A and B are shown apart, each in its own frame.
Chain A
Amino acid sequence: MERAPKTDRTMPLAHGGEPQERKLVLVGNPNVGKSKIFSMLTGQYVIVSNYPGTTVEIKSGKATDLDYYVVDTPGITSVVPHSEEERVALSTLLSGNVGAVLQVGDAQNLRRTLLLTLALLETDLPVVLDLNIADEAEKKGYVIDAARLSKSLGIPVVMTVATEGKGRRELLEAARRPSKSSLRIAYDTRVESAASEIAAHLTDYPVSKRAIALTLLSGNLPLVDSLLGEGRNESRAIREIIGRTQVRVLEPLSRIILNARMALVERLIRECVTLHVGRGFRSQFAEKLDRFSTHPLGGALLLLGILFVIYEFVGVFAAGTVVDFIQNVVFGEILLPPIVGALSRVPYALVRDFLVGPYGQITMGITYAIAIVFPTVTAFYIVFSFLEDTGYLPRLEVMINRLFSIIGLNGKAVIPIILGFGCGTMAAIVTRILETRRERIIATLILALGIPCAPQMGLILGMFARIGFIPLVFFFVLLTAQLMAAGWLASKLLPGQTTAFVTELPPYRLPHLRDVAGKTAYRSYWFVREVIPWFLLGTAMLFVADLTGALPGMKKLLDPVVVGFLSLPADTTEGFILGFLRREYVAAYFFDIYGRGLMDNLQAFVATMVMTLFVPCVANTFVIIKERGLLVGLAIVCFVVVYAITAGGILNAVLRLLHVTF
């Protein structure tokens, strides 16, 4: 029977209507391969990468060979939630109907893995421990006696190499017979009596009350409210117990609890692990690259090098050569002439125009999506997926932490910001990995204001491939300066402090071609599926607006702003209107009219800046409102629109005043 836990209000599950089947919940430290194991069990493709925080939402699917509904969760470091996505993961354990917990751990980092195992065992849920990445552990000389570990812990323990599908059979076998452990750590008597006192105040939970009590004792006081609901009698009583116990023991309660677990972990390690020294393996190259990429100077050089490669590959090659070829040769000479020819026999001008006119579904909608945006975005995804799998992104956090502290963020915010270069919508969700609401708002603002998404970025690079590399650098310096200023201002306005920066650096790994290709294909497929309907809708709207005379009217209305203030051609108004629908549509539109010689370089520069700063697309706006709330969401969107146009106007005036030419 499923009981809805009291925590639903404050620890919402990321997804609701899920079958009443028994769940197998995957939990574990970040970046240990939970998603890969999830794919292995369900046969579903999920994005996997080499950095902590790839998964921020709960994913679920039916297991192919097991009688379970498998639930993949974001990585957790302990049972005391440390950020929004850890809270999401832990809430799954409390959601009821959990048939078994499958803890995935890194075989090389057994101490950390077991520390979490011991906490999980206390929930009284049946647990299976999977030590993944067993190949790297073996290479480094660790020999783990899984059978003995299993006996000591009282739960099944298996070893897998998920990237190669090794150990699948054993894992399935173990998942069929999860067991509750009888292992019980006796804590300091004062902690134990406080735990049973707290347990007496707790109502029904699908996990043991002692586990919840110990989690509350290990956490900070606000945790009580976020777990039980604010201002309730029971939470007041529990806070009082914790406060009283804390005074009595002097040392932080979490340390007392952790020390007891650590002592047991050390014993288990002594019993079950031997390290064959001399077999210790580390790739010399990876080690050197590691040092270089986090070196103050080396890291900056490497970053510049990477950016230059992206510029050459995405901007010059994909958005230039490939798009030219597809747009002019494939569409212009091969595909479109016969279609236009065939349609010329259609007697109705309206139908003809709707399909192949200036605002035609085929000539504009499909051509933009397939000929301009698709090649560019795919190229960007290739580079991006490759970088993700190497483990470079967390190194970037190390480099950028100090810079980010100016705007009230820490290095961790690099991940959502970088993901924003892929898709702003996804990035707005990933801001969950940040610790405080303040940081999440600042990161969302920066993302909405000026982080171009993959198609936009690709097309910006494509345009600048013609304007020049130096203007591109100038463009990004200017953009960064504005983002820094906006972030700095927001950090001054929002109450709170910058939180301390701690992150784990995964080892450098050589990406598998298969993984990079798979991820790129998956992302491109979703992109096409999602974007084509929007492009067709946008084109149809323009078509109708043009037909009814609304478009010329609107152009006239916005004329003082677009032509007068920004000195852009009147046609760009359409682009900005499209920008509300999809960010890439406006990019494709500008790219197209710039290519046709309707904008000079200066206009293109201003237009690109306004477009980059301009509103996030509809999907992104919805996500921002969902994640940040209606008030903050709307405030961000309004600010962005006003700011983009103002900044564009000022930029235009200054450039013209100084007679800058590109």
Chain B
Amino acid sequence: MEEICRPCSREDLEEILEEIWTTLELKNEIPASGARIPTAAAGDKLEVLVSEGLVRQQDKDVILTDEGFRKAKEIIRSHRLAERLLHDVLDLQSEEMERSACRYEHMLGTEAADSVCILLGHPRTCPHGKAIPPGDCCEAGETTLRPLVVPLTELDSGETATVAYVGTRDNARLSYLTSLGVMTGRPVQLVQRHPSYIVKIDETTVAFDDAIAREIFVRPAHRKRQAAKGAGRRFRWRNGRG
């Protein structure tokens, strides 16, 4: 549908943020929210960046906003983690690694990046020796990989999640569950597990047994919450890095 396809704009913006970050690094500055940005780095997309709330103009200076910093950190983290993964694990050579990493950075979300980070043991630098901004997983020192998508049976009572997919090949059951509102992308809350599973989806409450719960795969929401909190912890990171 037309409104979804505003071609490339998100990736374009991410590329610019990446550029801003590396420029700051080159000037031996520590990228942070409120950092002054050379206008050249923003290029002709300055207006878009402002309207998206990623940078703001203050007198003649262009300043990175909280949101802009968070986004930039995310994209750099994804890019450099992808490089590490491709280099260390998949043993790709530098040119191919670079090309793939540029694509991966746009595809890896915060959650997936954290998973890669845990898998690689929280690496601190990329293959080129540049710093990888730590994520929440690094601070928490997590060592076990949590799957991003779990069956509903793995949730605790009261936990919220997003429906990832309904893993059944029974067409009638799939139609039925969909018509009850169990659809990909819908937020669900698990109300209770015993004596039957009860979930809330929008204004609908649905009850079912194990057999159905095992077929509904969800993305638990708590990881997203942690990531959101991470934006407010940037000072700790700065100190820790020095």
Contact = CB atoms under 8 A, between A and B. Distances in A.
Interface of A: 29, 77-78, 80, 82, 106, 108-109, 111-112, 115-116, 137, 140, 218-220, 223, 252-255, 258-259, 262-263, 267, 290-291, 294-296, 299, 394, 397-399, 401-402, 405, 410-411, 500-507
Given A140-B203, A254-B171, A504-B204, 16 more contacts: A77-B175, A78-B179, A106-B203, A108-B203, A137-B203, A258-B183, A262-B178, A294-B207, A295-B192, A299-B195, A401-B209, A402-B209, A500-B208, A501-B209, A502-B176, A502-B209
B233 interface: no
Contact of B180 (A137, A219, A502): A502
B175 A80 contact: yes
A581 to B, nearest CB: 40
A398 B198 contact: yes
Contacts of A296: 194-195
A454 to B, nearest CB: 27
A296 to B, nearest CB: 5
A150 B202 CA distance: 22
Contact of A220 (B1, B170, B184): B170
B196 interface: yes
Given A267-B1, A296-B195, A501 B183 contact: no
Contact of A254 (B175, B191, B207): B175
8 contacts: A82-B175, A252-B174, A263-B1, A296-B194, A411-B209, A500-B212, A502-B207, A505-B207
B208 A501 contact: yes
Contact of B211 (A108, A255, A500): A500
Determine which residue in B174, B186, B191, B207 has the highest number of CB atoms from chain A within 10 A of its CB, and name it: B207
A78 B176 contact: yes
B205 A501 contact: no
Contacts of A112: 179-181, 204
A294 B178 contact: no
Interface of B: 1, 166, 168-181, 183-184, 186, 191-192, 194-196, 198, 202-209, 211-212
Contacts of B177: 502
Contact of B206 (A106, A218, A502, A507): A502
A512 to B, nearest CB: 21
Contacts of B208: 500-503
A116 B180 CA distance: 11
Contact of B176 (A82, A401, A410): A82
Contacts of B211: 500-501
Contacts of B209: 401-402, 405, 410-411, 500-502
B175 A218 contact: yes
B195 to A, nearest CB: 5
Nearest to A411: B196
Contacts, number: 134
The SS class assigned to the B binding surface is mixed
A111 B179 CA distance: 8
Contact of B195 (A108, A111, A262, A401): A401
Contact of B205 (A254, A263, A405, A504): A504
Contacts of A78: 175-176, 178-179
Contact of A115 (B169, B179, B184, B207): B179
B179 A254 contact: no
Contacts of B179: 29, 77-78, 112, 115-116
Determine which residue in A112, A262, A410 has the highest number of CB atoms from chain B within 10 A of its CB, and name it: A112
Determine which residue in A77, A259, A397 has the highest number of CB atoms from chain B within 10 A of its CB, and name it: A77
B184 to A, nearest CB: 7
A493 B19 CA distance: 72
B158 to A, nearest CB: 11
Nearest to A497: B211
Contacts of B206: 502-505
Contact of A77 (B176, B191, B205): B176
A203 B211 CA distance: 39
Given A218-B175, A254-B171, A294 B183 contact: no
A255 B196 contact: no
Contacts of A502: 173, 176-177, 180, 206-209, 212
10 residue pairs, one from A and one from B, having the closest CB atoms? A77-B179, A108-B203, A254-B171, A500-B211, A505-B205, A501-B209, A502-B208, A78-B175, A78-B179, A80-B175
A250 to B, nearest CB: 11
Contacts of A29: 179
A109 B212 contact: no
Contacts of A108: 202-203
